[in-house]
Structure 1
Amino acid sequence: MVILMNKVTVVGSINLDTNLRVKRMVKPGETIHAKEHYSAGGGKGANQAVAASRAGADTTFIGAVGNDAPGKQMMDLLKEEGIDLSGIDTIANESTGQAFITVDDEGENSITIYAGANFAFGPKEIDQKESLLKDSDFVIAQFETPIDATIRAFEIAHKNEVKTILNPAPGEDSISADLLKVTDMITPNETEAETITGVHVEDEVSAKKAAAKLHDLGVEVVIITIGSKGAFYDFNGTSELVPAFKVHAVDTTAAGDTFIGAMSSVLKANFSNLKDAILFGNKASSLTVQRYGAQPSIPYQKEIEVK
């Protein structure tokens, strides 16, 4: 596949992850021993930016960290990835976002997030970054930062004919109509799709029903990731379930973020190569789930391109 040098801007969260590996998940009131403990870069926004950059995109980040040691650590990590950090504010009297992640021997995870500085910026701060947003091919956002900031970022993108990708995670019962009006592509997983549409997604038929409801809400392109089954897309009268690569998963943390970041790095602005871009994202995600951690598990372009 020919790699495009897309300009991708991510508006989103930055977290320092504290990871615990356990044999099984703890029960309420129970104490168990962890097998391993480590810290690493995380946050859905930062994960997606790292994935886009490693897959070959010219990547910019808009967000916030606290004036603390975790904030400096995260800025250093993102700088090493070659990401443009000029859109990241350091906010006094706020803590950098943190996530506490437990992963069991089956590769399943449980995550608790403290937002901190991730919720300390809004439309005013977004307006100050208009030059970064309009100089993009795609603008990506999630639900780990304020919705009003995301709406403003997407409005600026649309005004400048820049395509927008909404990853509606963590899941919300409803999504602002103002946000959907400026969303070109939405990328829920099966659980998030059910939360938004009320349709239980488990196969291609149910995914198409959910996609129809998302189209009715005003979104042009729908991609629903269905775990190990793959990613279903519905666009311009064409729909298909693109199978996932069969691998042994040890940690699913950042799998969805990797998919979105990698896909955006090769996707054409008119979505004409949508299936190929999904395949590229699926390959990247299949590599991520075979490794532990969020950002440490995200693959590089040369790995994804290997046949």
Structure 2
Amino acid sequence: MNSGLLAIGLTTLDIVGRPIEALTHTERAQLVESIVCAPAGTAAGAALVAAKLGVAVKLAGSIGDDMNGAFVRVGLERVGVDVSLLQTHAGLKTSTTLLTVPADGRRSSYHMMGAGVSPPINEDVFAAARSARFVHYAGVGGLTTDGGPGEAFLRAAKEGGAIVTCDLIGPRASAAAEIERLAPFIDYFMPSAAEAMVLTGTDDLAAAASRFLAMGAKACVIKNGRNGALVWIDGRHSVVPAFDVTPKDTTSCGDSFCAGFIAALARDWAPLEALRFAGMTAGLVAEGCGTLGGIEGFDETVAAMATHAPAPQAS
């Protein structure tokens, strides 16, 4: 019987400082509330949060042989992520993002390219996909995954019976061709609103979702921040409201949303209720700093759903 989650795709280190309103341009240190270092990225971030929520997780990703990579590996292991498929590339740097977050939660990011965009695609990864209950494919835009290898990987995952969720490394219009290649193997396509608009060239999110479904995706979930999630499942359109939170750092909210959805599905929650749990997961992450934010565990997230009201909807 298949079990657990395999996440594959971007692996990075995030370094988040908050609150930082402006650069001081002096050598005098300015005291801040939080500086957090954590594994992140569309695959590693989702893996970290899912493991914190009690899911058995294996990560297929790539890091460099530097200190940043060592930190990523230890950080993942600390919450129970299986890193046996996390490759270390000699002579390469670990993909790293420095984020400065002011008090209002907006952020500026500075990214260093590295090994993270080259997740492994090999027989060990294929074998893990065939035995996983869930596969979170976060490799669209990857150097080793686009153009055919990712399609073969997802074909193997579906042949093994996995439920496939899919997120993107970044909102690039060129990713549309790759999504069209992968869509027939995707059960839940989960882009952000910004990504959906870039991929389809329209700001009509319903029209964007229709295109993804026409490509072959079984369902589409468009993450739309405080406006909640726009959902198309089994031919029905729904809006799952976000929860009303006071955000400190929204850096990993999209990745944590995907992780929360999978964690609830793994406990046999119905999809729409699992999406409510996903929204609370993202909300708790936003209430803290870094990839895990304010996440404590699955039961604590369920409890938070009872104490947080729905977010006000934009007019």
User: What TM bracket, shorter-length normalisation?
Assistant: 0.7 to 0.9
Give the whole-Å Cα distance in 2 for the aligned partners of 1:243 and 1:293: 23
CA RMSD of aligned residues (A): 2.5
TM-score by length of 1: 0.86
Secondary structure at 2:299 match in 1 = helix
Residue type at the aligned position of 2:300:
E
Q: Is 1:133 aligned with 2:136? A: no
Which fold has the larger relative contact order, with Cα–Cα distance below 8 Å and residues 6 or more apart in sequence?
Answer: 1
- Alignment partner of 1:7 out of 4, 17, 22: 4
Q: C-alpha deviations, 1:205-260, integer Å up to 9, x for none?
A: x4322211211121111001111011111011111111111111111111111110
The equivalent residue for 1:183 is: 186
Are residues 300 and 144 of structure 1, via their aligned partners in 2, closer, same or farther at CA, if it must alter by over 3 Å? Answer: farther
Matched positions, count = 292
Partner of 2:64: 66
| Shift in alpha-carbon separation, 1:196–1:305, aligned structure 2, 3 A | same
Gap regions ≥5 residues in structure 2: 307-315
Taking the aligned partners of 1:120 and 1:168, their CA distance within structure 2 comes to: 14
> Cα 1:275–1:293, aligned 2, differ >3 Å: closer, same or farther?
same
2-structure distance, mates of 1:239, 1:91: 44
**TM-score w.r.t. structure 2 length?**
0.84
Once the 2 structures are TM-superposed, how far is the Cα of residue 181 of structure 1 from its aligned partner? Answer: 3.0
What is the alpha-carbon distance in structure 1 between the residues aligned to residue 76 and residue 198 of structure 2? 32
8 Å contact 2:62–2:120 — kept in the other structure?
A: no
State the secondary structure of the residue aligned to 2:202.
Answer: coil
Q: Give the corresponding residue for 1:77.
A: 75
| Rounded Cα–Cα distance in structure 2 between residues aligned with 1:209 and 1:115 | 33
Q: Deviations over 1:136-189 (max 9, x none)?
A: 111112246333353343122122221211112411203213222322221111
The 1:43/1:274 distance shift into structure 2, 3 A limit, reads same
Q: What is the CA–CA distance in structure 2 between the aligned matches of 1:273 and 1:279, rounded to whole Å?
A: 10
The percentage of counterpart residues that share the same residue type is: 22
Distance of 2:119 and 2:285 partners within structure 1: 30
Q: Over residues 100-138 of structure 1, what are the superposed CA-to-partner deviations in whole Å (9 max), with x where a residue is unaligned?
A: 112122101222322311134453xx3332221111111
Q: Please identify runs of 4+ aligned residues in structure 1 that moved more than 6 A.
A: none
In structure 2, C-alpha distance between the alignment counterparts of 1:48 and 1:231, rounded to whole Å: 17
- For 1:257 and 1:34, how far apart are their aligned partners in 2? 30
SS at the partner of 1:252? coil
Distance 1:273 1:76, change over 3 A: same
Structure 1, unmatched stretches of 5+, are 201-205
Partner of 1:203: none
Q: Does 2:292 correspond to 1:273?
A: no
Out of 90-99 and 34-43, give the one that drifted further: 34-43
The partner residue of 1:55 within 32, 53, 56 is 53
